[in-house]
Amino acid sequence: MSKFVAPPPGSGLDFESSPAYQRVIQNFEAAAAVLNLDPNTAARLRRPERIVIVSVPTRMDDGSVKVFTGYRVQHNDSLGPYKGGIRYHPEVDVGEVCALAMQMTWKCAVMGLPLGGAKGGVRVDPLRLSYGEAQNLTRRYTAEISNIIGPEVDIPAPDMGTNERTMAWIMDTYSARVGKFCPEVVTGKPVDVGGSVLRAEATGHGLVYTTTYAAEEIGLKLEGASVVLHGFGNVGTHAALAFSRRGARVIAVADVSGGYVNEKGIDVRKFVDYASKNRTLEGVDGADKVEGDSVLTIPCDVLAPAATGHVITVENAAKIRCKVLAEGANGPTMPDADPILERNGVTIIPDIVCNAGGVTVSYFEWVQGGMNFFWREDEIDSRLQQLLRGGYERSREFARRHKTPIRTAALAVGIERVDRTMRLRGLYA
């Protein structure tokens, strides 16, 4: 039976017309051209293997039932089980989820992980849900997708708007449905229910590690360097703490409530604690408040977009004044903005390398869960740095050898690995 049925034109489900999907295809085509990728392989890789769209009826605190839309997209499993986060956001749609699922395939591949690419989401504003409503929604969404996920099939993880508590609910619901304790079905869980140490910090730490590698190449010392973080959720907060420990000066951050600037450096621990307690930075003191996206153009050594995608565009790229652009978010830079940044001497760390710390430690968590044997924090950190450096250096070497931009090179490294595996496996007719 076919895994995918194309939606009729005008149905609202035509992911190929989505701007988010068209952007990842534009980047894919550039890498495929460098590789001289076989057209038959390219045709298969342009489309996801499976798209699942579900209704998620949820009991609200007032007794009413609201119906939300949920998605799970599985792009490619040539390298191993599908892997990818679940995001809760009011603007989630099928095109965005398809785009992110494809990006996960390349991210796992460039990092050398035995995993494929997937992504999921629910179109909901998590900030407007109570604890009980969030749990009800999560458990119903899990029930709706439970027949296509599993520890050897598709392993979800946290993403924007979800966290380790969300993963615990998914794990518990799935375990109840299959009749056994199954911690490996998700990663990013609390340590007490089979999670891994360093998983929560992994994406932020990975951003800082890859920034360190890039800084070494251009002779930039992180101690004393100025850092701007556009995004102050899980990735941004852990990155801010890690930068601060290395002696860097975080001069601006932004979240949904706006931007906060202090040229002398913000009190990172104070800001992190405030955001954790209040869910946003609204009302924090110790910095001047500005419009959120304006922090992107503040002169700095390191700029880390770590929130939503598509924030660096042809309109603002020429105003970006940083030495290193560390893409902690998925797809923060529009394809047409890349040449402008490169002409201005910005060293780019593409998202599929820069934010790969999360999926890398997710892989470690999955392995530990399967063995029921858990590693020490220093072991995980050492393995994380080893794999991140490998992914970064493979991408840099490809870029030098083929004289291509680093983003194209990183994608090409991932695509080449998937292509090689697909050729070895053949096509089941």
* CB-CB contact of 108 with 89 (8 Å): no
Give pLDDT, residue 13: 62
Give pLDDT, residue 14: 79
- Look at the alpha carbons of 177, 180, 185, 188 in this order and tell me if their dihedral is positive or negative: positive
Residue 2 has pLDDT above 70, yes or no: no
How many domains does the structure of the chain reveal?
2
- Taking only the tens place, the pLDDT of each residue in 289-312 is 999 999 999 999 999 999 988 999
Give pLDDT, residue 8: 43
Q: Are 126 and 80 part of one and the same domain?
A: yes
Q: Are 75 and 165 part of one and the same domain?
A: yes
Q: Which residues pair with 250 in a beta bridge?
A: 227
Tokens read off for 224: 């004393």
- Taking only the tens place, the pLDDT of each residue in 152-201 is 999 999 999 999 999 999 999 999 999 999 999 999 999 999 999 999 99
Give pLDDT, residue 5: 44
Residue 429 has pLDDT above 80, yes or no: no
Query: Domain containing 207 — which CATH number?
Result: 3.40.50.720
Query: Which domain, by its residues, includes 82?
Result: 15-181
Residue 6 has pLDDT above 70, yes or no: no
Judge whether 395 lies within some domain: no
Query: Domain containing 99 — which CATH number?
Result: 3.40.50.10860
Catalytic positions, written as ranges: 119
Residue 331 to residues 123, 337, 350, 412: CA-CA distances in angstroms? 19, 12, 8, 16
Q: What is the reported pTM?
A: 0.94
